[in-house]
Amino acid sequence: ALALALARNVAQRGEAVDIYSLEMERMLMQDRLYAMEAGVDVNHIQRGRLNDREMRALGDATGRASQWPIHIVDRFQLSHLGLRGYARRRHARAKPGLLIVDHIGLLPSPKAENRNVALGEITRGFVHLALELDTVILALSQLNREVEKRASKVPGLSDLRDSGNLEQDAASVTFLHRPWLYDKTAARGLLELHNGKHRNGESNWQVALTFDPATMQLQSNYVEVPGYDYAA
């Protein structure tokens, strides 16, 4: 949801976005984007159970979304080399300002002695690709289960799954934390972003968002900073 919100925001500003989905079909991702734009429950869209108000809102939203330069690729067996080749061909045509990979753990491993070494090859390839294409690459990753065993459930760099290379090669690492899953007194829908690393700026910052899982919408309370919009 956060990655799609970022894609939507970038596309609304006129920059192309490429999304490589290794887990979810393109139509399902489009439904989520439409729900986000229309403020309509995504389950109502997928089941075709829309009232008149939702139909009008969805019609207006799909009209706007059809103009966004978002390109979704849902080739589930795409290798990291295949992805890089596809991205180069796309760059020659559209020059996307943001490239999203969902998620890095599903990329088939190159031939290597273990998964850690394989992921290192993948992450270094992303670094080179970002520099070559002069674009931002947002690679989503799962966490390991160690965070579930601690008193503090806020993720950290040691919780990145499979590889320290993710921490080493990434310019910035930000974790998502939903306190209400562990603390019943926390506000439901609260989504905290915790930065664990920022190579070229301030690190260890935290931002609180409100997430509505029905409509996939995110809103930020970070309204005092120039250049940041209230609605994601």
Q: What percent of the chain has pLDDT over 90?
A: 59
* CA R_g for the chain: 18
What is the model's pLDDT at position 232?
A: 44
What is the model's pTM? 0.89
Residue closest to 138 by CA, chosen among 109, 163, 173, 106:
173
Residue 49: CB atoms within 10 Å: 10
What is the model's pLDDT at position 115?
A: 77
Q: What is the mean pLDDT of residues 125-151?
A: 90
pLDDT tens digits along 105-114: 888 877 767 7
pLDDT tens digits along 4-22: 999 999 999 999 999 999 9
Q: Is the pLDDT of residue 218 over 80?
A: yes
Query: How far is the C-alpha of 133 from the C-alpha of 209, rounded, in Å?
Result: 31
Q: What is the mean pLDDT of residues 109-126?
A: 81
Residue closest to 87 by CA, chosen among 125, 117, 51, 113:
125
The answer to whether 23 is a known catalytic residue is: yes
Q: What is the mean pLDDT of residues 163-187?
A: 88
> Which residue in 23, 25, 132, 146 is the catalytic one?
23
Query: How far is the C-alpha of 119 from the C-alpha of 101, rounded, in Å?
Result: 14
Going by pLDDT thresholds of 50, 70 and 90, the confidence category of residue 89 is very high
